[in-house]
Amino acid sequence: MRDDLLELSRTIDLATLGGRLRSARLRAGLTQAQVAGDAVSIGYVSRIESGQRRPDPELLEALAGSLGVTVDEILVGVSPDRVTELRVELDHAQLALATGSGGQALEIVDRILADPAVEELPDVKREASYLRASTLELTGDVPAAIIALEDLAETSPHDLTWLAGLTALCRCYRESGELGRAIEVGNEASRFIEEHGMTGLDEAVRLTLSLAAAYVEQGDVGYASRMCQRVIDRAEEASSPVAKASAYWNLSIIETMRGNTHLALPMTRRALAVLEASGDARNVARLRTELGIQQLLVDPPEPIEALDHLTSAAHDLEIAGALPGDLADNHLAQARAQWLLGNVHSARMQAAETATTARTTTPIVAADSYALLGQIAIADGDPAVARDHFQEAVLLLTGLGADRSAAQLWFELAGLLESVGDATAALDAYRRAAAATGLVAPVTRRPQPQVTSRLAAETSG
């Protein structure tokens, strides 16, 4: 008998063991006397089945042989072949998710979790449950992902898998605008990391970066920047290239938010070089999108090179099965690059398409797309159409929470509404923007990419 089965034979609940032996005997159509044979008495078999006796490993093997089952089926509750089948199905679900087939992955995972055999396999059930939460998040159902992750956080043993789950929960809370909860969960996980000396692990880095992203959304950009810098220092010490790339990625976005795009670009390029060597196609495409956005923000902007990065990234994002928000960010940035290059028709078409497709998945990007359409209309000398587009942006923003990205867009939208003479709507937009901190008026009316906090901490997906 294998060592793991020997240990389980000593610790398994007697009622569970007895029930499984009795069920196996009934399925085989045998009496207790037939199972007992010459090895033990009928009464002893009866007491084992009623949970009053624990057979020694040799007797357990003999009983299993008489019943025509394996010891695994008696102790684990599932045959080894079925365990292998379930794990192969899990591998298929993970592959489907990695290649962008989120719906297929969710279907496989739900089928696994509905299998009665999984109740006897807590490790498989736990792995499938976390994979289901990841699938829900990556397919855009963040509320359902939060529910799943909250349940797992309460019931899972505190290990690296649990820590990765808290990182995902922190990220999902941030995406849904629940910044207080995101920071609370992130700090809980940080205490666990410190207490167990795990600060140098990649899992700890991902958690810290997710927490930093929440602080960015809350407006505490300076503190978030210092968190990222500490992560970089630890990653340098641990020689963890992926952790280092993620930290540089996050810090570059924070510097962009602070208006220091000239500092952000070298960090982004350094992170991109590391990730390209790692073979992580989806995150390479996401980072290349970020590079393109930063090149539109730098003074003077670099729209030609930016558009090259953005179109290449869009192709790779489609293949890798990116989140709808990642695609929306990319497409809006392409529209801005086209406008800066003077390709007004292409800019208008792409912005309009992004505004339509992003309404339900990423409303803040849709609102920003309408703002761009309004700017294009102003340039065309059509303030009435511009006002209509700005009002669409107002309607979308009204339904969003008050995170930093939305507040910044409110502020910019207020200035645009002023430019078309809608003073009442502009004043309302300024009032909404005033709830946030650290906002500055744009120094120019050229198209300004919306800088979101879709940070590299999300690479855990």
Pair of tokens at residue 354: 């992004």
Q: What is the CATH number of the domain that holds 422?
A: 1.25.40.10
The count of other CB atoms within 10 Å of the CB of residue 20 is 21
Q: Between 173 and 421, where is the model more confident? A: 173
Does residue 422 sit within a domain? yes
Task: Clarify whether residues 377 and 297 are in a common domain.
Answer: no
- Is the per-residue pLDDT at 351 higher than 60? yes
Q: Is residue 68 part of a domain?
A: yes
Q: Which of 288, 245, 285, 283 is nearest to 267 (CA)?
A: 245
Angle CA 142–146–95, to nearest 5:
65
User: Could you tell me what percent of the chain has a pLDDT over 70?
Assistant: 90
Say yes or no: 341 and 447 in one domain: yes
Last residue of a domain, one of 288, 322, 356: 322
Q: For residue range 135-148, what is the model confidence (pLDDT) as tens digits?
A: 998 887 889 999 99
Pairwise CA distance, residues 281 & 304, whole Å: 23
Is 156 domain-assigned? no
Q: Are residues 286 and 387 in the same domain?
A: no
Going by pLDDT thresholds of 50, 70 and 90, the confidence category of residue 131 is very high
The rounded Cα 131 to chain-centroid distance in angstroms is 11
The reply to whether 299 and 353 lie within a common domain is no
Say if 97 falls within a structural domain.
no
Same domain, 357 and 419: yes
Examine the domain organization and report whether 37 and 64 are in the same domain.
yes
Q: Pick the last residue of a domain from 75, 100, 134.
A: 75
> CA 147, CA 52: separation in Å to the nearest integer?
40
Which position has the token pair 């072949």? Answer: 81
Residue 164 one-letter amino acid: A
Flag whether 420 is in a domain: yes
User: What's the pLDDT tens digit per position in 381-405?
Assistant: 888 898 898 888 888 888 766 556 7
Res 433: pLDDT: 66
User: Is residue 447 located within the same domain as residue 339?
Assistant: yes
Evaluate whether 337 touches 303 at the Cβ level (below 8 Å): yes
Tens digits of residue pLDDT in 411-459: 787 888 888 788 887 787 777 766 544 444 443 434 444 444 445 544 4
Give the Cα separation of 82 and 73 in Å (integer).
Answer: 10
Q: Taken in order 369, 371, 373, 379, is the CA torsion positive or negative?
A: negative
pLDDT of residue 240: 67
Q: Containing domain of residue 307, as a range?
A: 241-322
Please check whether residue 18 is in contact with residue 4, taking contact to mean a CB–CB distance below 8 angstroms. Answer: no
Angle at alpha carbon of residue 171, lines to 400 and 133, rounded to 5°? 105
Q: Does the pLDDT at position 347 exceed 70?
A: yes
Q: For residue range 10-48, list pLDDT tens digits in order.
A: 888 888 888 888 888 888 888 888 888 878 888 888 998
264, 228 in Cβ contact below 8 A? no
254: in domain: yes
The per-residue pLDDT for range 228-246, each reduced to its tens digit, is 888 777 766 665 677 778 8
Q: Does residue 401 share a domain with residue 314? A: no
Domain total of the chain: 3
Residue 264 belongs to a domain: yes
Burial class (CB within 10 angstroms; exposed 0-12, middle 13-18, buried 19+) of 242 = buried
Nearest Cα neighbor of 8 from 114, 123, 115 is 123
Note whether 273 and 301 are same-domain residues.
Answer: yes
CA angle 138, 143, 149 (to 5 degrees): 75
Instruction: Clarify whether residues 287 and 356 are in a common domain.
Output: no
Same domain? 253 vs 311: yes
Residue 393 lies in a domain: yes
> Nearest Cα to 291, choosing from 266, 268, 261?
268
Which of 75, 101, 123 delimits the end of a domain? 75
CB-based burial label for 123 (10 Å; 0-12, 13-18, 19+): exposed
- 271 and 372 inside one domain: no
- pLDDT at position 403: 59
Distance, in Å, from the CA atom of 220 to the CA atom of 180, rounded to the nearest integer, reads: 13
Angle at the Cα of 440 from the Cα atoms of 366 and 446, rounded to 5 degrees: 55
* Full-model pTM: 0.64
Q: Which helix (H) or strand (E) holds 425?
A: helix 423-433
